Structure 1
């Protein structure tokens, strides 16, 4: 199936063609036709499955076909709620790209910068608004935002909003919206609290579950180093001496550790930046821009701060800390090996993390290759007891 088989208008087809999109993904095939019909939708899909285009294209097309002369057309008609600033910015960019040939305005608002900038965004009367819940609610309560004309609502990464404690704000926002509207929800997982929201807002939805590409990733070479916790930074610095590590995204568990490791890398005359929740928005955007332009070779990030980051040509993902949720590992390593390119995912495993590793291997249904040439081998190998027949 091709995009022109989905009922998409020529102006949007031209714009997505310029993005070098070829064949629609399963989530796009399942979502675009019913969303164009105005149906509610539930998509269980992870980042990287093409879900942004799955909801952005129908929203743009439906708004473009409406009467532009109505008063409502100069108000927010489509609202997209997301958990992080980076994801909001990325989705805003996608709306602008797909709607390049349409007379529609997209606004993006998020926390971390002065509200005055977002007040200016709202004064431009966007038809589509992409927002994080907290900043949206602040502006609404101050009287800068009119939500009475919202016809389409998207909750993207609903489970992540739950994890980050945003569900209370989301529920308040829902209470301010018109009762009659089209609802779209996307979530990688469906915990009970998310299911409760689904039952409350979705009416006879079309439901699509996209299996994670996540069980096997043939274009990504996965490598494992067993290493004691105190030696992890030294092992990372050793690996970065290899110039084939051209563009490296390093994941750590805490904000403090992200800063510490980034400073250690910079001391080796390798340019590195750290991003996490304590960095202000301008610092985060600057770090991302330097990394995208390859002016910084290494980006050290926590999971939450890295949400929504999409970097072309990422050669390596390194897990300094193995995540305690197996699906997070899949999400992390999926940032490399994109667009037909190969990539390498390296994980450092201490004795305390072996249970996390076992869960990841069970999810993938495959073992991760153990690197024998390890300059910092684990001092007390208890691996054989925990991982029989691994080697």
Structure 2
């Protein structure tokens, strides 16, 4: 697959794909789609009463053994759309390594793994999330993908926007050509089209949404504020909407960590989730928030797509997203499965153009969130003290991390010296 292009670029003419499958007007059961009884029972146990639009379109095609391009937004039921056909094929021809699913983040990989195991619990399915696959292909003795039957690329546009083209190329070169490929993406970018041409054979396109939109039960607001008072406005909103669960999106790992420390110092049950945390800590944060042990999750865009967090009441864009489409994914964390929700986007004097792009993309003008400016200003002194403590804590965390890294380097050097000494001793013993 050749790299090139980006989100904002016009797409090249598509490789030949069959016409889009027409969406069925009436919802149907999974059994009507051709899903076998044992998997229908598993769907029922998971609370999947009726298939979603993308499942209605993609499952019958995949069960026929065709390659699929599925275009659907986050939260549309894509995992079921590829997991059910794979599990059904596995029932028919059992083997050890059957399907590979590529995702842009580890959290999404764990979530997909959980759904595969839940759907396949009665048939003894096991799944694993081995981290960076290319490392295993190159360094794990005896590991190969030569018997693979299915390749799934979920959130393909995001995989490619995160510059994993080289890794995807390497994987495509070592998996069988005689396989089924299911590619799912929120958008058909230029890069996704190139990947489609490189990886899929005569695919059927299943699209359930061609324009960017937010759900009707989502109440969307903005607040226009001076940049230096962002923290005070955030605290005001959290107080005003107390009793709700919040996801707060920040643009950087550092700001996510800083804001989490700030809120903790003010008595809020806040927890961070970002790419510089260890995998165990990231999963721990996610699980605490899911279990409602914490009411505020501060996150970078690592959590904006795919993750199933069912009870988010309010999404706050503390830092406005640089890419307008990320706004759709962020606010899509709330008002899910027919529930209502709120989103509030902070717009500073530096963000006006980005905000106008978002309004243009979603095709509506957002109302201002009602604020009492005087009450916000009354918070500034307490917030300033919490900011000072948070900066100190952030600095201490950085020093501890650097110290651990230095100790790790020293340990590696010491191990190297010991190995050399041990090697020398062994040679002397051999000499005698």
Task: Name the TM-score, length of structure 2 as normaliser.
Answer: 0.77
Give the one of 337, 349, 359 matched to 2:347: 349
Partner of 2:267: 269
The CA deviation at 1:345 is: 0.6
SS at match of 1:59: helix
Determine if contact 1:227/1:378 at 8 Å carries over to the other structure.
no
Pair member with larger Rg: 2
Give the one of 225, 228, 243 matched to 1:227: 225
| Alignment length (residue pairs) | 349
Between the aligned partners of 1:265 and 1:189, the Cα distance in structure 2 is 35
What CA deviation, in whole Å up to 9, does each residue of 1:21-54 have, x standing for no partner? 1221111111000101110011122211111100
Between the aligned partners of 2:317 and 2:337, the Cα distance in structure 1 is 22
Partner of 1:336: 334
SS at match of 2:316: strand
* CA pair 216-292 structure 1, distance change in 2 beyond 3 A: closer
The CA deviation at 1:216 is: 3.9
Between the aligned partners of 2:349 and 2:215, the Cα distance in structure 1 is 25
Determine if contact 1:64/1:104 at 8 Å carries over to the other structure.
no
Partner of 2:361: 363
The CA deviation at 1:214 is: 4.5
The CA deviation at 1:245 is: 4.3
The CA deviation at 1:267 is: 0.6
* CA pair 306-327 structure 1, distance change in 2 beyond 3 A: closer
For structure 1, the residue ranges without an aligned partner over 5 or more in a row are 111-134, 380-391
Q: Does 1:8 align with 2:31?
A: no
SS at match of 2:62: helix
Determine if contact 2:59/2:84 at 8 Å carries over to the other structure.
yes
Determine if contact 2:137/2:144 at 8 Å carries over to the other structure.
yes
What CA deviation, in whole Å up to 9, does each residue of 1:74-132 have, x standing for no partner? 2x11111111000000100111111122132222222xxxxxxxxxxxxxxxxxxxxxx
Between the aligned partners of 1:212 and 1:293, the Cα distance in structure 2 is 34
Determine if contact 1:83/1:157 at 8 Å carries over to the other structure.
yes
What CA deviation, in whole Å up to 9, does each residue of 1:229-249 have, x standing for no partner? 111111111111235442110
* CA pair 15-219 structure 1, distance change in 2 beyond 3 A: same
Between the aligned partners of 1:290 and 1:48, the Cα distance in structure 2 is 21
Partner of 2:128: 107
Between the aligned partners of 2:300 and 2:323, the Cα distance in structure 1 is 14
Report the structure, 1 or 2, having the larger strand content. Answer: 1
The CA deviation at 1:362 is: 1.6
Between the aligned partners of 2:270 and 2:77, the Cα distance in structure 1 is 29
Task: Name the TM-score, length of structure 1 as normaliser.
Answer: 0.85
RMSD: 1.9
Give the one of 82, 85, 95 matched to 2:103: 82
SS at match of 2:100: strand
Give the one of 313, 316, 341 matched to 1:318: 316
Between the aligned partners of 1:365 and 1:378, the Cα distance in structure 2 is 31
Determine if contact 1:333/1:345 at 8 Å carries over to the other structure.
yes
Q: Does 1:255 align with 2:253?
A: yes
Determine if contact 1:227/1:376 at 8 Å carries over to the other structure.
no
Q: Which moved more, 1:315-324 or 1:205-214?
A: 205-214
Partner of 1:238: 236
Partner of 2:78: 51
For structure 2, the residue ranges without an aligned partner over 5 or more in a row are 1-27, 378-432
Partner of 2:63: 36
What CA deviation, in whole Å up to 9, does each residue of 1:293-348 have, x standing for no partner? 11111111000254432212111100001112222111111111112221111111
The CA deviation at 1:356 is: 1.5
Determine if contact 2:256/2:272 at 8 Å carries over to the other structure.
yes
SS at match of 1:184: strand
